[in-house]
Amino acid sequence: MATVIRSETHPGIESYGNVNRDVLRLLEKPGRGYFTLLGVVLAVLAAAVFAFGSMVVLGIGLTGLTSPVGWGVFITTFVFWVGIAHSGTLISAVLYLFRARWRQSIYRAAEAMTVFAVLTAGLFPIIHLGRPWVFYYLLPLPNQRQLWPNFRGPLLWDVFAIGTYLTVSATFFLVGMIPDVAAARDATTVKWRKQLYTLLSFGWRGTNDEWRHFTRAYLYLAAFATPLVLSVHSVVSWDFAVSIVPGWHTTIFAPYFVAGAIFSGLAMVVTIVIPIRKIFRLEAYFTPRHFDAMSKLILVTGMIVFFAYGSEYFIAWYSVETPERAAFWNRAFGDYWWATWIMLTCNGIIPMMLWSKKVRTNIAALFTITIFINIGMWFERYVIIITSLAREYEPWQWRSYMPSWVEMTILAGSFAWFLMWFLLFLRILPAVSVAELKEVLPPPLRLRRGTKTGAQEA
């Protein structure tokens, strides 16, 4: 018996067969715990639907929104979820182009998170509308007087950016999954699964021609997704930066938002992957090396975000603009001081622990830190939006805002909506890429002599 060659990045996976066995095991009939969790999630979602329904029937007076704070928890949550989406594309596309050899096991879950987060985010501008049933006013269509929407306004840019992002990330997700769905199709014996996988695999057989076009198409999709991920949160940031509101009107917003988005998204990937790894015993697939690499990315983007916070305060002081200075003073010491300090603590100070390798490879510590980051990043958007609107230029207009129960229920509902999709995904579609993992594993050989075929090094 010759020695078994192990992969450098995934030493715990012995063979191609193991990958199919371990990954497709997730597609077996789920247990009681799963259905309980799904039930809780659906109950929260039902509460949010009720809250939204009340708002539609009784009007947006049910929210805490009033002049001057017209953007509240809904827009905060919109920006939060768009941000969460970004790291999925980072892991699936950007790290693909950089040939990061550890991304294979983690990217499918991250990509699913992207699609579901954009699905969640996309609801919020519509929920936020006073008359959600005329949401099609957002689309580039002329009204009854043949007047078109204003293409010079950032809100229309947003429609294009988010629309493109949802379409492209969903396409990337579904196309990238074709070979894995084919593997699931070949393995399953359940009738509805067989039908579903036959449909979604498009009759994939893994022929040389199919692979040839598939790998190329995948490369170009990744090349498109990479600048897209940078553009989407830039456009979202211009919703704010293009206005003249103190605290919003800054050129640093685009890179600052993009870094923040990736920071929060990576944290969310870690938060989600840790329980999956534990529950489904996928330790061989998500190794300490993965968490170490993810933590380093979190640390880098977190430092950029922290630097941007500092830069904002510095520029506010350096500009000698009274409203700008007042806005930032108000953030730190005004009515919303608590939100600002939650943001600074969770995003700036707590992630500093990741400098230590011990923390980076300690799963429990990492899980806790990433939850703090998620909280901090939601508060970041809350601080940016609400403190700026509550204290604009004219003091007689100043008024503070507190979210109502409707807004908080819908916020909770957004997590339920996201988790519902994720839970369904976990048990219906392959949550770890089968084919791409095999690309970084040594291929099966007839004559095991321990020599390299060149296949895995090419």
Q: Give 67 or 146: the residue with its C-beta nearer to another protein.
A: 146
Q: Answer yes or no: are the C-beta atoms of 101 and 440 closer than 8 Å.
A: yes
Backbone region of residue 451 per phi and psi (left: phi > 0; alpha: psi in -120 to 50; beta: other values): beta
Taking the complex as a whole, how short is the minimal distance between the CB of residue 257 and another protein, in angstroms?
15
CA distance 160 to 192: 36
Q: Give 356 or 453: the residue with its C-beta nearer to another protein.
A: 453
Q: How crowded is the C-beta side of 190, counted as CA atoms within 13 Å?
A: 10
Taking the complex as a whole, how short is the minimal distance between the CB of residue 16 and another protein, in angstroms?
4
Q: Give 210 or 321: the residue with its C-beta nearer to another protein.
A: 210
N residues, the chain: 458
Q: Give 164 or 361: the residue with its C-beta nearer to another protein.
A: 164
CA distance 376 to 230: 21
Alpha helices in 319-362 (DSSP H): 322-333, 337-343, 357-360
The string of DSSP letters for 124-191 reads HHHHHSSSGGGGGGGSS---TTSPPP-TTSHHHHHHHHHHHHHHHHHHHHHHHTHHHHHHHHHH---H
Cβ count near 275 (within 10 Å): 10
Q: Give 127 or 221: the residue with its C-beta nearer to another protein.
A: 221
CA distance 107 to 95: 9
Taking the complex as a whole, how short is the minimal distance between the CB of residue 159 and another protein, in angstroms?
9
Taking the complex as a whole, how short is the minimal distance between the CB of residue 161 and another protein, in angstroms?
6
Q: Give 168 or 262: the residue with its C-beta nearer to another protein.
A: 168
Binding interface with another protein (CB under 8 A) = 15-17, 20, 140, 142, 146-153, 157, 160-161, 163-164, 167-168, 171-172, 175, 178-179, 182-183, 185-187, 202-217, 220-221, 224-225, 227-228, 231, 235, 434-436, 438-439, 443-447, 453-455, 458
Taking the complex as a whole, how short is the minimal distance between the CB of residue 434 and another protein, in angstroms?
8
Q: Give 164 or 311: the residue with its C-beta nearer to another protein.
A: 164
Q: Give 214 or 415: the residue with its C-beta nearer to another protein.
A: 214
Rounded to 5°, the CA angle 84-87-91 comes to 155
Rounded to 5°, the CA angle 437-433-8 comes to 20
Taking the complex as a whole, how short is the minimal distance between the CB of residue 88 and another protein, in angstroms?
15
Taking the complex as a whole, how short is the minimal distance between the CB of residue 441 and another protein, in angstroms?
8
Which tokens belong to 118?
A: 């954009």
Cβ count near 240 (within 10 Å): 22
Task: Single out the residue of 80, 290, 450 nearest to residue 298, CA to CA.
Answer: 290
CA distance 101 to 8: 9
Taking the complex as a whole, how short is the minimal distance between the CB of residue 126 and another protein, in angstroms?
19
